[in-house]
């Protein structure tokens, strides 16, 4: 080359990589680990939304305005609370299923199982939104107006959560039928931490409600046995929160932030153990709510027993059977 400016420009053009035309990809292939991480993140979003309603429904019974509601509206709140506890039980069951049934491996069965759980959980979630809107607006709009508002909210939720997805549904790509890859220790720990974030928000919201409820006038008027049940539920929920938060400091203090098998084992054990006091805490306060609204110890015991059985089946029995 002669070293002229024109030659320099020509040389730079030759050295510059050829620009490729933009590709119009409609979807990007993902690994099994990425898909499992995505579905766990979506489960976490569902729990974050559910915790708001669950906290409201538990707290409503202790609020002064609860006594001004009609008897039907009170029972609608109880029914809405039962539906949202079903939502929480379904979504949180993804964590024990992953750890017990799949032993922490990222599998197609896990991805499908969690997706089905969320699909089922969205229906009672939509109904609970409508019921809660009815109860808070009945005194303002009357039964007909409140029913219209609640029904419209439920219909909108069902349309956006189910109809929109069904209309835009596409056939499963070939990669979904590929065999499962081995899951690295790094992915196991990252997914374990995500599962802790799925379970922890609901426990934190209920623990905050339980502390606040003990400072209300309604709590002071409760019978002594109900106060003790509530206190026991509070202690169980506090233990669950402590267990769910334990893997984070263990990861930092014991392992210095490194990804080790001991960190994974400690986190999994803390997560599974925490599900027991979590179930007891929610069932205990459901007993209190039923006793206050229904004025029947038998009804309250039956409701709490059904709730505990639901937790036991979804969180332990189903994963253990799937593991076998």
Q: Say if 26 falls within a structural domain.
A: no
Look at residue 20 and tell me if it is in a domain.
Answer: no
| pLDDT recorded at residue 48 | 81
Residue 175 domain flag? no
Which residues have CB under 8 Å from 76's CB, separation 6+?
A: 131, 134, 135
Position 61 in a domain: yes
Give me the residues of the chain with pLDDT under 70, please: 1-30, 168-181, 324
Flag whether 318 is in a domain. yes
84-105 pLDDT, tens digit per residue, is: 999 999 999 998 998 898 888 8
> Where do we find the tokens 């906290």?
55
CA distance linking residue 194 with residue 101, whole number of Å: 17
- pLDDT for 171 equals 66
Angle at which helix 108-158 crosses helix 32-60, to 10 degrees, equals: 40
21 C-beta neighbours (distance < 10 Å), count: 5
| Chain length of the chain | 324
pTM of the model: 0.81
Structural domain includes residue 170:
no
Predicted confidence at residue 122, as pLDDT, reads: 92
Sign, CA torsion 284/290/291/297? negative
| Residue 92 within a domain | yes
- Angle at CA of residue 37, ends 34 and 40, nearest 5°: 150
Measured distance CA(54)–CA(60) in Å, rounded: 10
* Domains identified in the chain, total number: 1
pLDDT at position 245: 93
| Domain span at 125 | 32-164+181-323
Residue 191 domain flag: yes
């Amino acid at each position: 080359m002669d070293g002229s400016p024109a030659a320099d420009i020509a040389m730079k053009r030759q050295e510059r990589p050829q620009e490729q035309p933009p590709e119009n990809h409609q979807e990007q292939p993902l690994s099994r680990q990425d898909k499992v991480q995505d579905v766990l993140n979506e489960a976490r979003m569902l729990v974050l939304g559910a915790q708001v309603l669950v906290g409201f429904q538990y707290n409503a019974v202790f609020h002064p305005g609860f006594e001004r509601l009609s008897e039907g509206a009170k029972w609608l709140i109880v029914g809405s609370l039962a539906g949202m506890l079903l939502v929480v039980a379904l979504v949180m069951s993804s964590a024990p299923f992953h750890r017990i049934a799949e032993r922490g491996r990222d599998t197609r069965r896990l991805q499908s199982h969690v997706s089905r759980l969320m699909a089922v959980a969205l229906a009672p979630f939509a109904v609970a939104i409508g019921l809660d809107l009815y109860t808070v607006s009945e005194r303002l709009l009357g039964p007909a107006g409140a029913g219209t508002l609640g029904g419209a909210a439920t219909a909108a939720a069902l349309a956006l959560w189910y109809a929109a997805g069904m209309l835009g549904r596409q056939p499963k790509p070939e990669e979904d039928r590929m065999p499962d890859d081995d899951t690295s220790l790094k992915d196991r720990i990252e997914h374990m931490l995500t599962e802790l974030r799925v379970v922890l928000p609901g426990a934190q919201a209920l623990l905050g409600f339980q502390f606040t409820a003990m400072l209300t006038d309604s709590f002071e008027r409760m019978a002594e046995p109900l106060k003790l049940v509530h206190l026991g539920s509070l202690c169980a929920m506090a233990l669950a929160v402590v267990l769910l938060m334990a893997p984070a400091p263990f990861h930092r203090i014991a392992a210095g932030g490194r990804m080790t098998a001991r960190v994974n084992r400690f986190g999994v054990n803390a997560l599974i153990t925490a599900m027991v006091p979590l179930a007891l805490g929610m069932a205990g306060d459901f007993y209190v709510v039923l006793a206050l609204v229904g004025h029947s110890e038998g009804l309250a015991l039956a409701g709490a027993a059904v709730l505990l059985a639901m937790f036991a089946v979804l969180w332990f029995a189903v994963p253990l059977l799937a593991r076998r």
